[in-house]
Every structure is written in C-alpha cells, then in structure tokens.
Amino acid sequence: MIKVTLKDGSVKEYNKGVTIKNVAESISEGLARVALAGEVNGEVKDLGYQLEEDCSLNLLTFEDEGGRHAYRHTSSHIMAQAVKRLYPDAKLAIGPSIENGFYYDFDVEKPFSVEDLENIENEMKKIIKEDYKLERFTLPRDEAIKYMEERQEPYKVELIRDLPEGETISFYRQGDFVDLCAGPHVESTGKIKAFKLLSVAGAYWRGNEKNKMLQRIYGTSFNKKSELDAYLTRLEEAKKRDHRKLGKELDLFDILEEGPGFPFFMPKGMVLRNILEEYWREEHKKAGYQEIRTPIILNEELWHRSGHWDHYKENMYFTKIDEGDFAIKPMNCPGGMLVYKRKLHSYRDLPQRLAELGLVHRHELSGALHGLMRVRCFTQDDAHIFMTPEMIKDEVLGVINLIDSFYKVFGFKYHIELSTRPENSMGSDEQWEEATDALKNALEAKGLSYKINEGDGAFYGPKIDFHLEDSIGRTWQCGTIQLDFQMPERFDLTYIGADGERHRPVMIHRVVFGSIERFIAILTEHYAGAFPVWLSPVQVKILPLVDKHHGYAEEVKKQLEKEGIRVEVDLRNEKIGYKIREAQLAKIPYMLVIGDKETETKTLAVRSRKDGDLGSMSVDDFVAKIISEIKNKEN
C-alpha cells in the first residue's frame, strides 16, 4: 500500500500502481470527469500515470495552470495531426502550450493561408470527434532516432540527437499520429471542447536566424465555448487598442523602414513621454534618489568585467574607436558601478541611490520586433542602490512602495513573481541563497503574495518582477527589483565600515516603468489612446462655430495656456459636428464649443470625452475643474 496526500491535507491509502485517474474516481465521479492531469510531488503527469510510492497529489482541472497546459498541449498535437493529414509532406518541429494557447511549427513548401487554417480547423474537429486515446510509450535513444528517421521527421531527429546518451525518449500516439513529446496530455482528443486557430507567422527553427524559416500556427483552446468566445472578444478589443495603430492615428510615435526597431517620437508623443519622465523625476527626488547620466558607448574591457560579455554579447552592438574595441551599452549598470567607484564611501554615505533614464541598445531578431513593445533601442528608468547588507530589507521595501505608488496612479493592479537562480549564472550557492532569502523576507514583511518563477533570475542575482494587469485583463511584466552580490565584487566596490575597515556593498538594480517606450505602448493600449487629462498631449480643443467667434476662442486659449493647460483651437471653416467628431477621434478629453451665446456671456459650452455634454461653464470654473483633475492625476 502507498499513502497519497491530497491538496486538502487528507491522506488516502491505495495499492501500488494506482493511476491518478483511479484516485480521482475514488474521490468523486464529478472530479474524475473534469480532471485533466495530476501534479505528483510538484510535477504534472497524465491521468494514466501510475503511483508507485508515497506522494503528494493535486488533481488538476482547467482552472489550474497545469491542467490548462495539458489541455492546450493536446490541442497542439491535434493540430499537428490535422496538418499531417492534409499536408503529408509537412515536417514537424515543436508544438508547446503557451500562455492563453498553443502553437506548432511546420516546415512546408508554401506559407499557410487563411483558407488553409479553416481546412485545418475542420480536420481538427474530425480528430476530436474520433476521440483517439493519447498513449505514451518510450524508446531508447538510438531506437528513437531510427523511429523518427523512418517517419522522415528531421527536426525530431535533431532534437533527439541533442539529448544525452542513454536517455529514454518518450512519445505520444493518437490514432495514426505519433509525436516526440515529454507530455503531459489529457486522456483523449475528445476532451478538447472549444478551440480556434488564430494566426500564422514565420519562425526560425530554434529561434536562430541562420536556420530555416518555418511556419508557426497559433491557436487557443478552452474548456467551454463561452470562455473561448469571451477570449476571442478580448482579442478583438486588443486589436482596436493596438498601440502601433493608435500611435500612427494619434500622431504619437512610429517605426519607420529606415530604422527597424528604432522608434521615432512625434511632438505629441514627446509631450506624453516628457510628462512621464517629469513625474518619474519628481517621485524619485522625493524618495532620495540622485539622477546621473552615463555614456552610451564604453570600452569592451568593461563588459568583460561586468560579465555581460560572457552572458549577453549575442544581444550587443560593437564599434571601433581609435583602433580600440567598444560596445554600445545594452544595460546601464556598469556605468552606475563606475560612478560609485569614483570616490571612497563611508557606511554613513549609504544607501546611495543613483537613478538614470539611460538609453540602451539590444540586438533583437527582426521577427521578434513589435512596435514599442520590442525594440532595439529604449530608455530604461534604471536605478542602482548601493548599501550595507543590514540595509537590504528596508531598501527592497522602499522600492516596493515606490513601484506600488506609481502603478496606483495609472490604475493598474499587479501580481508579483520571485525569479530564482538561472543555469547560466555567476556567484556561489551561498550568495544566491542569501540574496533569494532577502527578497522573500521583504515580500513577506510587506504581506505580499507571490509566485516562485524557478530559474528565471538575472545572471547576477534573483529578482522580484511586477506584472501589471491592464483594462482588458492582459498582463505585462514591467517593474523589477534585482538583488546583486556579484557586480560589487567584480568591480571591487567598497565602503569603509564603522570598524574602519573596507567592506563590500550589496546593490539593487531596479526599474519602475521597465522602459519608457514599452510603458507608453502599454498605457496606449490600457487607455485605448484615451489618456487621462494629466497625460493627454492635447487636453482641450476649442471649437468656434464661425469666424466671428475666433477672437473669443483665442482669448480663452491664452487664458488656459497661462494656467499650463495644453490647448488647441480648430479654426477650420467646417461644420461644428465635423469638428466635434474629429476631436473625439483624436481622443481629446475636453471640447469647448463657442458660439454667439458663449461669446456674449464669456462662457463655454463644455463637452467631455467621458461624460458627454456638461452644459455651460464660466472660464474660471472650467479651469478650476481641469486643474483639479490634472493635479490629482485622475484616471
């Protein structure tokens, strides 16, 4: 007999070899019906997995991340089976589940069309109706290679060859379709209730631009049609909010073919950008930060010293100056180190908080570029905090509070992830354990819940990541707090302690916005281009009815400008309805209509983008209203 500890803490006894499905059935028929997979000692397994020893077991449904993973992973296999039926010469690459869906990469003679996707969907429906059981089997490595060679799947052969000698290779069979796969999967193809193929794109094999371009089909699947419909509606809403489209329409920013991945900001976009930077400077000054600026180009030796050469050089740009080798900085931190190192510091000088709006350049693949979300040059709102080990908790809490105050201003909710040591990292186990525990202690002291993201830390230290939730439920990783014991050592940074001896400081790397460009993209989509008054490049549009009202319109404009309000006057000889529609399309927060009555009484007919017609107001009353909204940063 073995003991199985369930999620609620209860312990049940079963015969050795009992399957996860058997356990679900022993608890309730309803649970067995909705269970998709099981988490055994933290590892997700198929329902058919046999339990051979005492363990903890969490039965997973579609409500659980592991259950969704198995469900969508199976969906990708169904899609691959459909493609192979319709296009027998297609070669299979990889097909994982991803957040909100799945994809599969195929090597085919010609790109897939919209009509092709419809045909694949129809074939998938047949496979689901045929309800094939997903059966796992294993082969020794050499037999697995031979098996995939016989099936003429060169990409699978390459994947297997990269696995260690002596490895046992797992496969899944559904009907006449077999795929190399570690799993897990749901029991049968008939378990998939609702799905949709969304798009097709090019993708280099293994993400390397030197390899062949494959065709990647994206799809999504849900346990209920109503959930799928709601998700598709959100996608349509997201298309309307696409910052690339709105950036052009509102004349904020653009990416031109002369500079792929290098954004251009137009005058109105610069207004928005400058407001964000001014707010950032104000809040950082209040929080005890000093602003610095470091060079964009620094010599190659510095990047060897920092560790970026070994861990990041594939993403860097290089140049020669006076026969010397230089790099264009991909990160601001080495420059911050040099600023700290210029002087001798006492423990009384610490913490030292150095903030920088630093322009960085990173070599991104052309296929990965996406508007302002993924660019090749961007401004990080960096800061580097140098401190004694005793200050770690208070400084981390200070950064958490600062980031929280920023996100509240924009109306963002967020969740937190703690990312731990990656494989390709610097430093000792003891340093990593101390740094990770310090971040955990700060989060727990603040009473914040968080998720562990194993192995996703920076190469020099663990980090806390803040994931914002926008107005349509999407999440974006923005703020981060990284604790670093490595770089102070590599740069031989010191301070004089109370004992008169030299000691090594600890440092925090952190950003709030993440990058100014990406944050502007997120804000544009979050607000659908209808920025709150304090952020709007143009806050007020004055709309005189005819020429004789232009004089009063100009008077009002001067009065508003005197109060620091951003205002434009539409003097075009157009009908007022047309002018109002144009201002609405430009997403101007307030429109002031001026006709005979307003000119005579020195009043304004006020229209709000949000609340519609607000009636007649005096100029002073309107100014007081809008200044209050700006001052309070109302959303």
The Cα–Cα gap between 620 and 599 comes to: 15
Q: Are 631 and 539 in contact (CB under 8 A)?
A: no
What six digits make up the tokens of 339?
A: 């600023």
β strands within 344-412, DSSP E: 352-361, 377-387
- The crossing angle, in degrees rounded to 10, of helices 429-445 and 392-409 is 50
Containing 594, the helix (H) or strand (E) segment is: strand 590-594
What six digits make up the tokens of 612?
A: 């519609």
What six digits make up the tokens of 242?
A: 């696409």
Q: Are 623 and 631 in contact (CB under 8 A)?
A: no
Q: Helix-strand-coil percent breakdown of the chain, rounded to 5?
A: 40, 30, 30
- Residue 104: beta bridge partners? 217
Q: Are 586 and 568 in contact (CB under 8 A)?
A: no
Containing 80, the helix (H) or strand (E) segment is: helix 65-86
Pure H helices in 355-470: 392-409, 429-445
Q: Is 619 helix (H, G, I), strand (E, B) or coil?
A: helix
Neighbours of 405 (CB within 10 A): 13
* DSSP-assigned states of every residue in 595-609: -HHHHHHTEEEEEET
The Cα–Cα gap between 371 and 255 comes to: 7
19-32 CB burial, b ≥16 within 10 A, e <16: bbbbbbeeeeeeeb
**Which residues are catalytically annotated?**
333, 362, 380, 382, 384, 463, 509
β strands within 455-553, DSSP E: 463-469, 475-484, 495-496, 502-503, 506-511, 540-544
Cα–chain-centroid distance for residue 240? 19
What six digits make up the tokens of 32?
A: 């067995």
Q: CB within 8 A of 149, min separation 6: which ones?
A: 157
In a 10 Å sphere around its CB, with 0-12 CB exposed, 13-18 middle and 19+ buried, how is residue 582 labelled? middle
Neighbours of 592 (CB within 10 A): 25
